[in-house]
Each structure stands twice: as structure tokens, then as C-alpha cells.
Amino acid sequence: MAAKRAERLVNLVIALLGTRQYVTAAKIRATVPGYEPDDGTARADEAFKRMFERDKAELREMGVPLETGRTSVFDTEDGYRIARAHYELPEITLTGEEAAAVGLALRLWESAQLAGAAQSALVKLKAAGVDVDTSRAIPLRPRLDSDEPAFEPCYAAARDRRVLTFDYRRPDEDAPARRRVQPWGVVAWHGRWYLGGLDLDRQAPRVFRLSRVVGTPRATGPAAAFEPPGDVDLAAMVAGQFRGEEQLVVVRARPGTAIGLRRHAVPLGPAEDGDDRLELRTTEPMRLAGEIASYGADVVVEAPAAVRAAVVERLTRLAAMAPGGTA
């Protein structure tokens, strides 16, 4: 389902739950965001009718008890509402760990495609008296984006415990190499998805960035063919990949900007264009790249090239995710 349609359906459900009276199609059109506005033309009216009919059918297919009727004998046209008694969930009781899992799920699905639905779910749970902890400290900020086609087959193979075969291109290799892996799981780290598992050809644990997978991974063999180690920590595996020797990163920052970055930087003096040159030391260059990217055009990386490329990549991806944005 398209993001705009999903958001419109959520808005429609909220609007119809918020009243005990039947709401006419004309009022829905005027109050629910996402519908074709009334500009007095027959084209706009027809577009709204088609959209509204599809939405009603979609809600009913999902089991939403959408009722049609009239509030008063004086009403001249039918209206719509959702029967709260038939729609609302019974009392929900979650353990502390279950509530924390819900909070993590909301953070996982905070992409633009599902942010509205996730927020709606959070509101419903809180209204039911469930304390959902969305702030519990975890070392991940996952975001499921549509530009990771390898996510679904990798996740499915890890869930089913099936061997996974795929072509993988490393930054220092001209051509992709075939990999055979026992997938232990998929994890997000600083805005990127990674597969962790046992590389069968190297007989050692390895981490693979999903954006470097070429083509569609293929699961082979029977399900439940292996068991991951009981003490495996995928987040630690990914983090360990980026921890190494200390690196020097040189950036240029516009005067008066990037205050947080300056707190742990060494000033190198002004650049020719008037920007401030700063030197930073880090053992986690990709984490630093994410921080630098958060300052947008105010900070530019001079060196090393790998960190500069990582910042450009993050900014390009964020620009493409913005409404109307393109990479």
C-alpha cells in the first residue's frame, strides 16, 4: 500500500472513531487530509468518489466495522461511522518486556511509509493504559527503507534458519564474490541494515551490509538447518566492524555552526573560503559520518575520502526520502 493511501486511511479511521454521528461523504472530504479537494469541477468530484469508494472497500476488507446510516430523519443523505464497540480492543495487559518490545517495534517502523500508522498504534495503546517505553536505551536506530531489496530474503532466511547464497561487492573489489552464509539475523546500525552470520567458506562470523548485496539473495536447503550461537550479539558484531585504530578526520564548518562537533575538535584555523577547519579523532568513522551528516551543508569533510563519501551517501539518501526529493 502506498504511503499516502495508508496515511489517508489512518486519518479516515480516526475521524470516524471520533464521532457517534454519521458523517457525510462531503464532510469527510472537507475534514480528512488526503482527499481530492472540492474545486467545483466534475473531474475533482469524480476523483474523490473513486478514491472514497476504494477506501471504504479497503477498510471493510481489513475488518473495520464501517457503518452506513443517517443520524436524523431530517438527513438527506447517508453518512458513515465506525462502531467503537465492535472496533476497539479489549483491555490489553503487557509485561514490562512485552511493552519494551512494542516500543522497539515503533522505533523500527518509523519510516515515512509507516510513521502515521505506528503513531496511531502508540496512541491507542496509551489510551488503553499500556505504558509503552519508546525511549529505553538500545544501541540501534533502525529504519526500514524501500531501497534495501535484500532485506526481505535475508530476514526470511534468518527466521527460517536456511543457508543463504548471494553475491557481495566489497568497496575494494572490482567484481562481486559469491557468499554462502548461515544467517543469524538482520540488524540496523546508524541507518544501514546488516546481515550477521557464519560465512561457510571462511568458517568464521562475518557481517554484510545489505546495500552491497548484488541481486536477490537465495535461500537453499531445508529450514531449521542450523542454530545461531546462544550468546550471539549482532549489534556488537556490527559495531566491532567499525572500531579500529584511531583516525583523523578534517572538516570545514561555517562560522557559528556545528557547535556540538566543535566541542571535541581541534581548530586548524580558517580556510580560504572563510570556513573554520577542524580536526577530529575517532575510532568509529561511520558513526562520526552520521554526526557530520546531521549538520547538512554547514559541514564539509576534507579528508579522508571514505568518510567524505559516507557523509555524501547519507545526505543523498535523506534527500531522496524527503517529500518530492530525488537522489
Cα–Cα distance between 54 and 171 in angstroms, integer? 46
Give SS3 for 222: coil
- Mind listing the pLDDT tens digit for each residue in 265-307? 899 989 888 899 999 988 778 778 888 888 888 899 998 888 8
CB 224 within 8 A of CB 160: yes
- Mind listing the pLDDT tens digit for each residue in 196-233? 999 999 889 999 989 889 999 999 999 999 999 888 88
pLDDT at 8 over 70: yes
- φ/ψ of residue 127, rounded to 5: -65, -30
Cα–Cα distance between 26 and 4 in angstroms, integer? 20
Q: Which residues contact 20 (CB under 8 A, 6 or more apart)?
A: 81
Q: Which residues contact 172 (CB under 8 A, 6 or more apart)?
A: none
pLDDT at 101 over 80: no
Report all structural domains of the chain as residue ranges with CATH numbers, in order of start. 1-128 (no CATH), 150-242 (2.30.30), 247-321 (no CATH)
CB 189 within 8 A of CB 182: no
CA distances from 304 to 169, 278, 310 (A): 21, 13, 10
Q: Which residue is associated with the grid cell 473495520?
A: 64
Average predicted confidence (pLDDT) for the chain: 78
